[in-house]
Structure 1
C-alpha cells in the first residue's frame, strides 16, 4: 500500500530565508524612495554650524525646512529661510567635505544636510521694501515703520552697520538674529538675495531633545509695516 503523500509542499529553509531577504529589501527600497520624494517635494533636514542665528537657532541644532514655501505658499517678512549661497557668501573653507556614504544618505534625505553648504537667515525686507538702519530709537525701519525685533538676543543692537536700501524686484533682504556675528545682506558684496535661491522655510527644531519646538513666523513684529 502506498504511503500517504502530503499534498502541501514542504517549504525548504533556503526558500524561506530568500523570501525574508526579498521582503526586507522591498521595505528598504520603499523607504528610500519615500524619503527621496519627501526630500524632493516636501521637506529637508539641516543642521546649524554657526552662531549667526542665535538665540533662535543654536550651533548643532537640527532643523526641518518646508519646501512648500515658497513653492506653494508665499514667503513673509520674519520667515527664517535656508537658501543656496548666491555667490561669495561662503568661502571654500566653510563648505564641509563629506564621505561618500554621508553624501548618499543626504541625497535621499536620511542624513541632515549641513546648513554650511547653504545659508540660514531671517527675511527682513520683501521685494520693493525700503529697509534702513536705524531709527532714532535704534530700530530697523521697513517702509518707514520702525520694528521691534523680539527675536534678537537680549541686549543685541539691531545693527551696528548703517544702510538704506530698496530691495530689488525678485529679491529678499535677509539678516541673522545674532546681528554682531552674522555676515548677511548688510555686508559689501552680499546685498539682497534672489527669491529663486530659497530652499524653504524653517518650521521645526527637531534636535536636541531640550530644543524641540515649532518655529513660528513673528508676524506681529511686521504687522504695522505697510506694503511698498
Structure 2
C-alpha cells in the first residue's frame, strides 16, 4: 500500500494535473490580456519612424476608453476606419492629436498644425515631412478624438475620413489601450 493511500488521498493522474494547469495558465493569460496589457503587431508604415511594420507593442488596457492629446493608442476602427471586422483591419494604432472640445486646424502660416490656436510641436515627424497636405479646420465633438499617423504621407487617418460617418472622429470609448511599450524586435524594445 502506498503512503498516499494510507492517508486516504489519491494523487491526480498526470494528464488531469496537466489539463488543470493548462486551464489555469490560459485563464490567467486571458485576465492579463483583458485587464492589464494586450499585444498588437504594427501592420503598416503609417506610424514611422515611431513604430515600424512588424513591431510588436503592448497596449495598456487600464487606459481603455480614455485618450489624451499626444497619446499613441490602439482603437477599434470598425465602422469608422474599417467597414467591417472581417476585412482584418479592426484595430488601428495612431497618435491622438485632439480630443472633445478641441479645435484642430491645418495649417498656420508656419505650416504647423494648431490645436486651440496654438502650434503643435511634433518632434516625432521626420524633418522632411509636412504635418498635413490636407487642409482642415474643425472642432472635435465631445467623446471623440482626432487621430493621425506619424508618417503623414503614408497614413489613413482622421484627415482622410472627414466626409465619412463620424467625420473621421473616433469615439474615445473605442480605445483599446494606450501604447506604452515596444516588445519586439528586441533591439528596439522599451518604453515609448
TM-score normalised according to structure 1 size? 0.74
Cα displacement (A) at 1:8: 4.3
Contact 1:80 1:121 in 2 (8 A): yes
Instruction: Please list, as runs of the form range in 1=range in 2, the aligned pairs for 1:156-195 lying within 5 A after superposition.
Output: 156-188=129-161, 189=164, 190-195=167-172
4+ residue segments displaced more than 6 Å = none
Segment drifting more, 184-193 vs 61-70:
184-193
Q: 1:25 aligns with which of 19, 30, 36?
A: 19
Q: Superposition RMSD on alpha carbons, in Å?
A: 2.2
Per-residue Cα deviation, 1:6-28 (whole angstroms, up to 9, x for no partner): x64599xxx97x63323322221
Count of residue correspondences = 184
1:126 counterpart (81, 94, 99): 99
Please identify the structure whose Cα radius of gyration is greater: 1
**Equivalent in 29, 37, 43 of residue 35 of structure 1:** 29
State TM-score, norm by structure 2: 0.87
Aligned to 2:71: 79
Deviation at 1:187, TM superposition (A): 1.3
> Structure 1 stretches of 5 or more lacking a match?
1-6, 97-115, 216-228
Which deviations, in whole Å up to 9, do the C-alpha atoms of 1:172-216 show, x marking residues without a partner?
01111000111111113252111111111011110111110111x
Q: Which residue of 1 aligns with 2:46?
A: 52
Q: Secondary structure at the match of 1:186?
A: helix
Which of the numbers 57, 60, 67 marks the counterpart of 1:63? 57
Unaligned runs of 5+ in 2: none
